Structure 1
Amino acid sequence: MNNDKFALNARLIKIGAVTLSAGIIANFAPVIYLWIAYGEIPPFEDILKIWTVALVTFGVSWVVQPLTFFSMLGTSGSYIGWLAGSVADLRCPAVTMAQKVSGYEAGTPEGDVISTIGIAGSVLLSVSVITIFTIIGANIIDILPAFIKESFKVILPAVFGAVYVELASKHLKLGAATILVALGFSFLAIKLGVPGWILNIAIIGAGIVIARIQYLSEAKRSGTNV
């Protein structure tokens, strides 16, 4: 069974590496075309400055988010999710709901299959919706009330909160302990002036440690070898 699982993961990794590489090339293709066909390209110094800003702003998430969401998304789901983007605010809620409806837990082979189906469905839906709103959305946004436009700023925290509550409800002790530690770390970070990206890493690391301690404690009580 384990050998079959490893062989399947190896195939998924090969396919995922090819599709992600193709996606990277596709992202650069328009720029390369403009460069070759019209000789238009920003100065290298400007490119380096923009890349440095992106690295400082999002660099931590390039490492932290894949590690954080892998257990929920699975191997194939991770490749599809990172290729499509919007993992935290679109793909994870879709996966959480799909696994809840189907009754399969994250981290199991069945849960990985459901995760992939959920992400594929969310990609199809989001691409369709984005296409529609790209065509007619600008006119709609202009006529929306001001309070609705302001609410767009809290969509991401609301999504994170919903995903947290859904996952924490399955493991109440772990969820409660993690949120208490996160609140404590956040309080100290404000007092000490700790940057947000360091706070994120600390909270995620604390959650992993808490989960491991709880697992070992429960395994010890049940007499399970770990």
Structure 2
Amino acid sequence: MKVYDKYIKDITKIGRFTMLLGLVVSFLPPLVMTLVFGFNPGLGAILAGAISQISVSGAFYFSEPISYFPIVGRAGLYMGFLSGNLVNMRIPAAVSALEGSGYKSGTDEGAIMGTIGIGVSIWVGIIFLLLSVFAGQTLLANLPESISRMLSLIIPALFGGVFAQFALKSPKSGIFALTIAFVMTKIVDIIPGKPSFIVTLVSVFATIAFAKRQLIRKIDNKEA
């Protein structure tokens, strides 16, 4: 067995255990509130909240693992989904690690570099989280209003930076992704209830299909 295969086998065991542990810990506070203190909103309210949340983020359960796996690999997905902030912190860190190392996404080496990037971002996040807990509120309260408004643009800027890095490698796929996302946004606006998850679901899988078609065409042209 290759070293990398053994690494993945061990990571899978640890990852499954930690994900199950995280699931138990996540449900522990509401279970304690319900069973120990007797606070319960009722089954109807719980189902209504669950359906509301699924309608918003349900598409991410399918699109994110498929989209991010080539960048971070199996270990990176376990770490990213357990630690959270996958889009606005973990993926940009993984992409930066890939770019800095020179390895390509979708390779074993690239997956390891992406995992290292996520690991570093988790530790950096913990350090800054501790700092923000003790001093962040005081600091933010004294920031000028112009800077506070600017901070709200951080996440869009991260999305744009990650998109640009990949769009430069495949401009046609980038243009297609922007076009299909824009079209789907307009379509969703006229659908009752405006199910925004459809934008993500269609945009991600349509772009994957388009990029795959471009890659196959490129390979066929080389072989011709």
TM-score band (shorter)? 0.7 to 0.9
Q: How large is the Cα RMSD of the aligned pairs?
A: 2.5
Asked if 2 retains the 8 angstrom alpha-carbon contact of 1:94 and 1:119, the reply is: yes
Amino acid at match of 2:187: A
Whole-Å Cα distance in 2 between the matches of residues 49 and 195 of structure 1?
15
Amino acid at match of 1:117: I
Asked if 2 retains the 8 angstrom alpha-carbon contact of 1:189 and 1:195, the reply is: no
Matched, 1:62 2:61: yes
Whole-Å Cα distance in 2 between the matches of residues 189 and 43 of structure 1?
35
Q: Deviations over 1:21-52 (max 9, x none)?
A: 01111222334344455444443333333222
**Equivalent residue number for residue 204 of structure 1:** 204
**Equivalent residue number for residue 144 of structure 1:** 143
Asked if 1 retains the 8 angstrom alpha-carbon contact of 2:79 and 2:119, the reply is: yes
Whole-Å Cα distance in 2 between the matches of residues 38 and 187 of structure 1?
44
Matched, 1:87 2:119: no
Higher relative contact order (CA 8 A, sep 6+): 2
**Equivalent residue number for residue 73 of structure 1:** 72
Displacement of 1:145: 1.6
Matched, 1:189 2:167: no
Whole-Å Cα distance in 2 between the matches of residues 187 and 63 of structure 1?
19
3-state secondary structure, aligned to 2:92: helix
**Equivalent residue number for residue 20 of structure 1:** 19
Displacement of 1:218: 0.9
Whole-Å Cα distance in 1 between the matches of residues 22 and 188 of structure 2?
39
Q: Deviations over 1:149-204 (max 9, x none)?
A: 22333322221111000112222333234334444x24752675464321222211
Matched, 1:128 2:135: no
Amino acid at match of 1:103: G
Amino acid at match of 1:27: S
Whole-Å Cα distance in 1 between the matches of residues 57 and 188 of structure 2?
21
Identical residues among aligned pairs (%): 26
**Equivalent residue number for residue 106 of structure 1:** 105
Whole-Å Cα distance in 1 between the matches of residues 186 and 113 of structure 2?
39
Whole-Å Cα distance in 2 between the matches of residues 187 and 118 of structure 1?
32
3-state secondary structure, aligned to 2:58: helix
Asked if 2 retains the 8 angstrom alpha-carbon contact of 1:73 and 1:115, the reply is: yes
Whole-Å Cα distance in 2 between the matches of residues 142 and 122 of structure 1?
26
List alignment gaps of at least 5 residues for structure 1: none
More helix by share: 1
Using a 3 Å threshold, how does the CA distance of structure 1 residues 38 and 180 change in structure 2: closer, same or farther? Answer: closer
Displacement of 1:95: 0.4
Using a 3 Å threshold, how does the CA distance of structure 1 residues 178 and 30 change in structure 2: closer, same or farther? Answer: closer
